[in-house]
Amino acid sequence: MTIRSDASPGPASGRGTVIGSNGSLPRAPNRLSMRRADVLLVQRASQTIETLGDDLDRRLQRESRPAERLRMIRETTNQITRVANDAIHAYGRASRAVKAEEQRADSDLVAAREMRTRLDEARASVLAVLDVASRRYQPPPDAPTGEAPEAG
C-alpha cells in the first residue's frame, strides 16, 4: 500500500496513461482528443521501424549461416509489417476523426489542422523508413520465394 503525503490523485489508469499531458499535441475538443494516441502511434512507428532495422543489422553482422540470416530477416520484416499495419490503422482512425471535426458546424479548425499536419508528417516519415527497409532487407536472389515451380 502506498501512502501519499499530499492529497494529489494517483496515476491515471486506462487510456489516459498512453499520452500524458506534456503538451506534445494541441489541446482539442473531446472529439479529437481521443485520437491523440493514434497520432502518437503513427509518429513513433518510424522510430520503431528504424530501431528494428538497426537491431537486425547488428545481429546479421554476428551471424554467418545463410539460413539463420534469412530467418532473422523474415522475423524482422514480420515485426516491421506489424508496426506498419498498426500505424496504417491508427492513421485511418485519426484521419477520419480530423475530417469529421473539419465538417462539424462547431468545429475547432485550428486543432484539426494541427492534428492533420502532425499526422501527415508522421505518415511521410513512416513511408520513408519503409522505403529504406524494403531496399535494405530484400531476400537473396537464391532464396525460396514460396512460389510453385513452373511446369515444364
Cα–Cα distance, 80 to 19 (Å, whole number): 23
Residue 50: enclosing H or E segment and its boundaries?
helix 36-62
Residue 34 resides in a domain? yes
Residue 146 resides in a domain? no
Residue 150 resides in a domain? no
What band does 32 get if pLDDT is binned at 50, 70 and 90? Answer: confident
CATH for 113: 1.20.58
pLDDT for 29: 52
pLDDT higher than 60, residue 147: no
Whole-model pTM: value is 0.68
pLDDT for 7: 43
Nearest to 32 by CA among 98, 96, 90: 98
Count how many domains the chain has.
1
Backbone angles phi, psi at 33, to 5 degrees: -60, -30
Residue 90: enclosing H or E segment and its boundaries?
helix 66-103
What band does 67 get if pLDDT is binned at 50, 70 and 90? Answer: very high
Averaged confidence pLDDT in the chain = 78
Q: What's the rounded mean pLDDT across residues 50-59?
A: 95
**Which residue shows C-alpha cell 499530499?**
6
pLDDT for 111: 85
Residue 94 resides in a domain? yes
26 DSSP 8-state letter: -
Residue 141 resides in a domain? no
* Residue range 1-27, pLDDT digits in tens: 444 344 444 444 443 333 333 445 545
Residue 11 resides in a domain? no
Higher pLDDT, 126 or 28: 126
* Residue range 97-146, pLDDT digits in tens: 899 888 888 878 888 899 999 999 999 999 999 999 888 876 556 655 55
Residue 6 resides in a domain? no
Residue 4 resides in a domain? no
Cα–Cα distance, 12 to 54 (Å, whole number): 34
Q: Tell me which residue range forms the domain holding 74.
A: 29-136
How many beta carbons lie within 10 A of that of residue 90, not counting itself? Answer: 22
